[in-house]
Structure 1
Amino acid sequence: MRISTGDVFGAPCWVSLMSRDVEASQRFYGGVLEWDFRPGAPGEAFTVAVSHGVPVAGIGELTSDMALAAAWTPYFAVDDADTAVDRIRERTGTVAVGPVSLAGHGRAVLAADPDGAIFGVWEGNVRSEWRVGEGASPAWLELHTRNAFDAALFYGEVLEWATGRTGCCEVAYEEDKVVLRQAGEPVARLASHVGEPTTVDPQLRPRWHVHFRVPDLERATEAALSLGGHRASAVHTAEAERCVTLRDPDGVLFDITETADVASETPI
């Protein structure tokens, strides 16, 4: 079932990988995360990752005319992409691509916040069953940035968080992080974890972390290494989960998480 971005405005509504080699990315992520793939809209260099029949993420081709790095990017729902672009620029963010119309399904924008973290906005239809923390969707999204409060102000003004408008996302400070909730459920968190945005190591620069849930962290990590990926962090262990940051063969960072009960809701 599809609903309008106006019904979930401000909330994460999709994640997508911009890849230099879509087929190679399919082989890698299919082996690591056990995804299947199906073509996107006809005529587009885009494929949809599917887990147990449910769309999980997109993989698109990074063409030579795009001044972008290969990366996983979260998209947030907006009523109007043009208005979102104006708000981004007014608040010293950068618009890299868009708004671009995609085969009549909606309009997309790729942008960077003032610290350089890449994100997208989407105006159009979204899948009602895609929700962070549930089902086959990513376990969670987390922005690592210099100042979580400053970042929350930027995204809140761009995406209408905590504005009092009916249906808007709410923001709270919990356990040293800014937590974004939609309809009472956590959908993202923002943490002050990194230094200056000019840091050379991409692991230490402001960026959105996309965590994918796996049933067996060791198996998924071994699969990534055997398929040309690399480990980018030690395994982090908490009471309810274990996670590790990996690089795919193209150098793209992503996170995998094993929870105590993979069928339960992932706590944020």
Structure 2
Amino acid sequence: MTESAARHTPGTPCWESLMVHGMAATQKFYGALFGWEFLPGPQQLGPYVRALLDGHEVAGIGHLPADRHLPIAWTPYLATDDAHATAEMIRHCGGTVAVGPLDAGEAGRLAIASDPAGAVFGIWQAAAHAGAAVKGVPGTPVWNELVTRDTASVGKFYQHLFGYEEEAVVSADFDYLTLHLDGRPVAGVHGVGNALPRDLGAHWMTYFEVEDTDDTVQRVVELGGHVLRPARDGGHGRMATVADPEGAAFTVVRSAR
């Protein structure tokens, strides 16, 4: 189902952004994979483009300078009505604000932060740019999931920030929270214990809707990416976790229909 952009309730993932060393090669990869086209975006943090699908903005890609050896990863931005107040709350609750808040031209205000477990996320106070203009169709972000050691402590951090209602999966071997706003699920928190990758640590995972999971995985490999977790069937559809040529991990899913 297509969902058009409007004002996002604070705490809702509203934008996905990727910082890479090779912007041209990255645009070529995602353009071929998802059919994205690109237009220039705000340049406050350096060269940046917005990815469009059928003329609708869906994500952003920016340039990471060669001397900045940061993890290459998709980063979700959570909506806020007041970036300054949210940044202060992040610090108060034990998180870290690494960048901002700062103005992104007429588009809005942003900050980049990490939760107490180290997972990086952004906050976005919209002005001219509300965020993703369409979602829920192939080639667009459809879900965000925090992968962390356990849900108990970090779940409270996000709940304090945005007032999420939490729905826990009660199981002896599965630690999962679904975060709800306005009565609907907006993100998940998956506690994986000692299975948390040492080289990655706690992180947010972006899910992209695709028409055919297996075909998309094959295309990822053909375009120079690689498979992190092969295609499998789950409760929400058929999914696989892959990485682009610079190593940014993401999950592709054909939602159960």
TM-score category by the smaller chain? Answer: 0.7 to 0.9
Q: Describe the SS at the equivalent of 1:127.
A: coil
| TM-score, scaled to structure 2 | 0.86
Say which SS state the counterpart of residue 8 (structure 1) adopts. Answer: coil
RMSD of aligned alpha carbons: 2.5
Distance in 2 (CA, whole Å) between partners of 1:95 and 1:79 is 17
Q: What's the counterpart of residue 214 of structure 1?
A: 210
Gaps spanning 5+ residues in structure 2: where? Answer: none
Amino acid at match of 2:39: R
Shift of 1:257: 0.6
Partner of 2:92: 90
* Contact 2:15/2:132 (8 A) holds in 1: no
- Structure 1: which amino acid aligns with 2:20? S
In the other structure, the counterpart of 2:28 is 27
**Shift in Å, 1:95:** 1.6
Map residues 24-173 of structure 1 onto 2, 5 A cutoff: 24-41=25-42, 45-64=47-66, 66=68, 68-125=70-127, 126-127=129-130, 130=133, 133=136, 137-158=140-161, 160-162=162-164, 170-173=165-168
Query: Which deviations, in whole Å up to 9, do the C-alpha atoms of 1:33-86 show, x marking residues without a partner?
Result: 222222224786111112222211111111246563221000001122122222
| Closer, same or farther: CA 10–26 of 1 in aligned 2, 3 Å | same
Q: CA deviation at 1:131?
A: 6.7
**Counterpart of 2:22 in structure 1: which amino acid?**
D
d(CA) in 1 for partners of 2:102 and 2:38?
24
- In the alignment, structure 1 segments of 5+ residues that lack a partner are 163-169, 262-268
**What secondary structure, in the 3-state scheme, does the structure 1 residue paired with 2:158 have?**
helix
* Residues 151-230 of structure 1 mapped to structure 2, 5 A cutoff: 151-158=154-161, 160-162=162-164, 170-174=165-169, 176-195=175-194, 199-202=197-200, 205-230=201-226
Question: What SS does the aligned partner of 1:28 have?
Answer: helix
Counterpart contact for 1:18–1:62, Cα < 8 Å: yes
Q: Between Structure 1 and Structure 2, how many residues are aligned?
A: 248
User: How far apart in 2 are the matches of 1:98 and 1:129?
Assistant: 21
Indicate if the aligned counterparts of 2:87 and 2:97 stay in contact, CA closer than 8 A. Answer: yes
- Output the CA distance in 1 between the equivalents of 2:87 and 2:256: 40
Amino acid at match of 2:84: D
Q: Which amino acid aligns with 1:84?
A: T
SS at match of 1:13: strand
SS at match of 1:86: helix
User: 1:142 is paired with a residue of what secondary structure?
Assistant: strand
67 and 83 in structure 1: CA distance in 2 versus 1, 3 angstrom threshold: farther
Cα pair 2:57 2:134 within 8 Å, conserved: no
Q: CA deviation at 1:259?
A: 2.3
Q: How far has the Cα of 1:221 moved from its partner?
A: 1.2
Provide, for residues 164-186 of structure 1, a one-character-per-residue CA deviation record: whole Å limited to 9, x for no partner: xxxxxx33224652112233222
Looking at structure 2, the residues matched to 92 and 3 of structure 1 have their Cα atoms a distance apart, in angstroms, of 31
Inter-CA distance 93–132: structure 2 relative to 1 (3 Å threshold): farther
8 Å CA contact 1:12–1:132 kept in 2: the answer is no
Residue in 2 aligned with 1:246?
242
Distance 1:128 1:47, change over 3 A: closer
Structure 2 CA distance for partners of 1:150 and 1:133, relative to 1, 3 Å: farther
In the superposition, the TM-score normalised over structure 1's length comes to: 0.82
- The aligned amino acid for 1:141 is N
Name 1:265's counterpart in structure 2.
none
C-alpha offsets along residues 8-56 of structure 1, whole Å, 9 cap, x if unaligned? 1121111111111111111111112222222224786111112222211
